[in-house]
Amino acid sequence: MKKQNIFSVLVGGAAGDGAREAAANLSRLLTNVGFEVIQTVEYPSLIRGGHNFARVTFSDDKIHSDYEALDILVALNKETVDLHFKELKKDGLVIFDCEKQDKKIINLPLCAYAKEMGAPPILRTAAALGAICWILNLDLEELNKIFKTVFKDKAEANIKLSVKGYENFKNRKITQIKLPKPKKIIRKLVDGNEAFAEGLIKAGLENYFAYPMTPSSSILHFLAGKAHEYKIKVAQPENEIAVINMALGSAYAGKRTATASTGGGFALMLEAMAMAGMEELPIVVADSQRAGTSTGVATRTGQGDLAFVRNLPGEFPQIVLAPGDQEEAYLLGGLSLNLAWQFQTPVVVLLDKLLSENMSACQLDDKKIKIISSKPSKAGKKYQRYEFTDDGISPLAFPGDKDAVVKVCSYEHDEKGYITDSSEITKAMCEKRFAKIKGIVKELAKHEMIKVYGDTKSKNTLVFFGSTKGAILEALKYIKKPVRAVQILCLEPLDTAQLKKILKESNRIIDIENNYTGQLANLIREKTGIEVCKKILRYDSFPFEPLSLADTINKILK
């Protein structure tokens, strides 16, 4: 196994101390100078107080997950030292504003520096970042460029404080860490929600409606900030029921529309989602999962909604996509909007807190997403919104078309859109909608919906979906026996034939999920008849850690 040059820095404090922003600026710096970067954030569901921290893991080689073992711990309060000191590597150190110091805890008078300059206490993190630049032998001017970009005309205080921290450590000759030379590859530092939103924009998003609910809220915030630039209408209605019904009305009016929530908000959308399925309205709904049942653990991660989102009320073609990283969130964001409009049906994208809020240095290729429209309308006096066709897709016109009367209702209907209780028409309409499946499967086959990593010939197989991808791909570097990892990106309709072929070649299958019931394993059994007997399940609201996961897999394969 190739030696990994992996480094981790954690910045922690109370809510309002600026730990997350400080880590984000460090991540931006490391990305700009060419390192591979992963940033994770953890915080309680509190406005003030509670322990907040962000961890930045970086390397000169490709990495997919953060690592808990720390090279540097920046503690903005004592609680951070108490909670994370045990995570330090043997030669790791703590930067802390304290009176006493030892070999591991190095004093840096952060508060005194801020007070001396008349700056608010939250800016003291800039001095810590300056000290980190000395330790990591990074150009301080590159950090100050970040400050100028982020804070613009308010950057001066941050710049002066960063110099204070840098000079303090330089004058004291604090031991520096020798970093490998990074690759000069231009990447963008984005979180999963931003990447997903960028994919929607690239696929022609016109309207976005949402009610803020962690961890989906930043999609709303990001798109609101981009609304003028991309001519998108963004609105925050009073609740998720209003959100989904506005989305249906928007799609009916001919606008490419999306929304997002988490499990509790998604639950409120079910009736309208079912209506979208029957009325063949093209919308995209993202569910960014969090831990626990109901409101659960609002700011932590989980994968407990898979069975829920793939079993919406009623029967109609359902499409459920699950990206595993930021680049896939971008691509599947665009694909989801195109699929919704190609096949006139709702599409669900399954995100989760880990993917939604964590940042990664990646490349979002805008050449990979093009706008694909619906079948053109045959507007005229004989226009029928639900005309029977061989592929189940009817010509689509919109209200305002002077040559067409476009009817949509909340009941079963005939070809013109009029309410019916005819058993013959009910049967025919159901079959019409399901006739789309053949085309959906054919379209999905153009994209890589099942990915295989590791030793592709190994009989030991890991199966997973979503954000567990990062920890699993990192764990592959430390697993002692040959193993392959199979990622499923489209959960409905599942490519049963391909998956069955892969799994039938396996002697041992291990399912890895962030839930209690092994919902992916249950789906595999339902669709393929293959029982996945070995499961590694984590449901304590935290994601998998690569080294710990590798250790568990090694024990199973021993």
User: What's the distance, Cα to Cα, between the start and end of the chain in Å?
Assistant: 18
Q: Judge whether residue 1 has pLDDT over 60.
A: no
Rounded distance, CA 482 to CA 324, Å? Answer: 22
Could you tell me if 68 and 53 are in contact, meaning their C-beta atoms sit under 8 angstroms apart?
Answer: no
Rounded distance, CA 395 to CA 74, Å? Answer: 59
**Structural domains of the chain, with CATH:** 6-171 (3.40.920.10), 189-368 (3.40.50.970), 375-447 (no CATH), 450-557 (3.40.50.920)
45-59, 83-97, 138-152, 483-497: least confident range:
45-59
Rounded distance, CA 220 to CA 261, Å? Answer: 10
Would you state the pLDDT for residue 132? 98
Q: Judge whether residue 3 has pLDDT over 60.
A: no
Copy the structure tokens of residue 304.
Answer: 């407990």
Residue closest to 252 by CA, chosen among 435, 430, 396: 396
Phi-psi region of 254 (alpha: psi -120 to 50; beta: other; left: phi over 0): left
Strand 233-235 relative to strand 207-209, pairing = parallel
Rounded distance, CA 378 to CA 28, Å? Answer: 51
Q: Judge whether residue 177 has pLDDT over 80.
A: yes
Rounded distance, CA 452 to CA 458, Å? Answer: 11
Angle 140-151/125-135 helices, nearest 10 degrees?
Answer: 150
Rounded distance, CA 463 to CA 511, Å? Answer: 5
Angle 140-151/19-32 helices, nearest 10 degrees?
Answer: 120
pLDDT in tens, 260-273: 999 999 999 999 99
Bond prior to 399 in cis (omega within 30° of 0): no
Q: Where are the alpha helices (DSSP H) in 237-322?
A: 240-252, 263-268, 270-279, 306-309
Could you tell me if 67 and 547 are in contact, meaning their C-beta atoms sit under 8 angstroms apart?
Answer: yes
Q: Mean of the pLDDT values across residues 52-69?
A: 96
Q: How confident is the model at residue 359 (pLDDT cuts 50, 70, 90)?
A: very high
Would you state the pLDDT for residue 101? 78
Q: Judge whether residue 151 has pLDDT over 80.
A: yes
Cα–Cα distance list, 74 to 171, 321, 355 (Å):
19, 38, 24
* Average pLDDT of the chain to the nearest whole number: 95
% of the chain beyond a pLDDT of 90:
89
% of the chain beyond a pLDDT of 70:
99
pLDDT in tens, 379-408: 777 899 999 999 999 999 999 888 888 899
Q: Mean of the pLDDT values across residues 6-31?
A: 96
Q: Judge whether residue 477 has pLDDT over 70.
A: yes
